[in-house]
């Protein structure tokens, strides 16, 4: 496993463990146990994980994820920490880094920011740039459901167009916060939104993300 993905994996496992299985998360209606089961199924059950993208497969995904959620919580945490089996595509360094860096960062924040006493996490510049590079590539997909034009902008001026249209809302923030916003966690993202109030309200309530 590569540097960023491995670090975020271990951080996610630690946060899930310390929060406990019944702790809330930012994922709608999911407890920490549900989130842990999701992570494990995504990596270890390719036969079911397709339901994340293909709607007809969603019922199977729900059944398999419910089965895993019924396992001992400690077992789920162990499976997350140890990573995917050797035959899994996620075991390949390049795929792990490309697919899991953002996934684990967002889910770690899903656990952290659902707690009443959470504090902002300061990201090192290298990791922040890694998140930004992925957001640049994924911006159009993440922003495809925006009801207005949507631009993501770092404080240094670098931008990514997430959705073309008018009026335009520009979201300004650090890469980690832009990541949370673009993945549908608008309410907890520390960003500044520039645009008409009506447009800002629309994009704040929009279902962004995958």
pLDDT tens digits, one per residue of 104-152: 999 999 999 999 888 888 999 999 999 999 999 999 999 999 999 999 9
Domain limit, last residue, from 112, 146, 174: 112
Residue 120 lies in a domain: no
Task: Please check whether residues 108 and 143 belong to one and the same domain.
Answer: no
pTM of the predicted protein model: 0.91
Sheet holding 149-153, edge to edge: 159-163, 149-153, 168-172, 192-194
Task: Please check whether residues 19 and 82 belong to one and the same domain.
Answer: yes
Residue 197 lies in a domain: yes
The pLDDT, as a whole number, for residue 55 is 67
Measured over all CA atoms, what is the biggest interatomic distance in the chain, rounded to whole angstroms? 50
Residue 127 lies in a domain: no
What are 143's two structure tokens? Answer: 């922003």
Alpha-carbon distance of 111 to 189, in angstroms, equals 14
Residue 118 lies in a domain: no
Q: How many CA atoms lie within 13 A of 132 on its CB side?
A: 20
Domain limit, last residue, from 112, 146, 176: 112
Task: Please check whether residues 27 and 95 belong to one and the same domain.
Answer: yes
Task: Please check whether residues 144 and 99 belong to one and the same domain.
Answer: no
Alpha-carbon distance of 110 to 27, in angstroms, equals 7
CATH number of the domain that residue 199 is part of: 3.30.1050
Residue 132 lies in a domain: no
Percent of the chain with pLDDT over 70: 92
The pLDDT, as a whole number, for residue 48 is 54
Answer whether residue 186 shows pLDDT above 80: yes
Contact predicate 26/33, CB 8 Å: no
Number of independent structural domains in the chain: 2
Task: Please check whether residues 9 and 50 belong to one and the same domain.
Answer: yes
The pLDDT of 59-84, averaged and rounded, is 89
* Least-confidence region, from 1-5, 122-126, 167-171, 196-200: 1-5
Confidence tier at 1 by pLDDT (50, 70, 90)? very low
What are 138's two structure tokens? Answer: 């994924």
- DSSP string covering 59-116: HHHHHHHHHHHTS-HHHHHHHHHH-S-TTSGGGSHHHHHHHHHHHHHHHHHHHHTTST
Task: Please check whether residues 199 and 160 belong to one and the same domain.
Answer: yes
Per-residue pLDDT tens for 8-49? 999 999 999 999 999 999 998 899 999 999 999 888 776 655
Residue 128 lies in a domain: no
Task: Please check whether residues 105 and 178 belong to one and the same domain.
Answer: no
Average pLDDT, the chain: 90
Answer whether residue 84 shows pLDDT above 70: yes
- More confident of the two residues 67 and 15: 15
Task: Please check whether residues 96 and 194 belong to one and the same domain.
Answer: no
Confidence tier at 64 by pLDDT (50, 70, 90)? confident
Percent of the chain with pLDDT over 90: 73
Residue 130 lies in a domain: no
Residue 43 lies in a domain: yes
Domain span at 181: 137-205
Rounded-to-5 percentages of helix, strand, coil across the chain: 60, 10, 30
Task: Please check whether residues 27 and 104 belong to one and the same domain.
Answer: yes
Contact predicate 134/51, CB 8 Å: no
Report the b/e string of 56-78 with b at 16+ CB within 10 A: eeeebbeebbeebbeeebeebbe
Task: Please check whether residues 161 and 196 belong to one and the same domain.
Answer: yes
Domain limit, last residue, from 79, 95, 112: 112
Angle formed at CA 186 by CA 51 and CA 158, multiple of 5 degrees:
100
Per-residue pLDDT tens for 153-162? 999 999 999 9
Task: Please check whether residues 7 and 101 belong to one and the same domain.
Answer: yes
């Amino acid at each position: 496993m590569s540097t960023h993905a491995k670090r975020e994996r271990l951080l996610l496992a630690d946060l899930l463990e310390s929060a406990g299985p019944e702790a809330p998360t930012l994922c709608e209606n999911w407890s920490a146990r549900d989130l842990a089961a999701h992570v494990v199924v995504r990596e270890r059950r390719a036969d079911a994980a397709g339901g994340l993208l293909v709607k007809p497969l969603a019922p199977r995904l729900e059944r398999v994820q419910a089965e895993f959620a019924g396992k001992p919580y400690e077992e789920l945490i162990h499976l997350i920490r140890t990573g995917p089996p050797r035959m899994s595509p996620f075991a390949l360094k390049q795929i792990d880094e490309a697919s899991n860096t953002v996934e684990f960062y967002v889910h770690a924040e899903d656990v952290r920011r659902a707690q009443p006493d959470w504090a902002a996490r300061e990201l090192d510049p290298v990791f922040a740039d890694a998140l930004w590079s992925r957001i640049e590539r994924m911006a159009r997909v993440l922003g495809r459901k925006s009801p207005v034009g949507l631009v993501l902008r770092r404080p240094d001026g670098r931008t990514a167009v997430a959705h073309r249209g008018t009026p335009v809302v520009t979201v300004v923030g650090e890469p980690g916060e832009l990541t949370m916003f673009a993945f549908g966690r608008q309410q907890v993202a520390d960003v500044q939104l520039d645009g008409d109030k009506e447009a800002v309200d629309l994009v704040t309530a929009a279902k962004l993300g995958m």
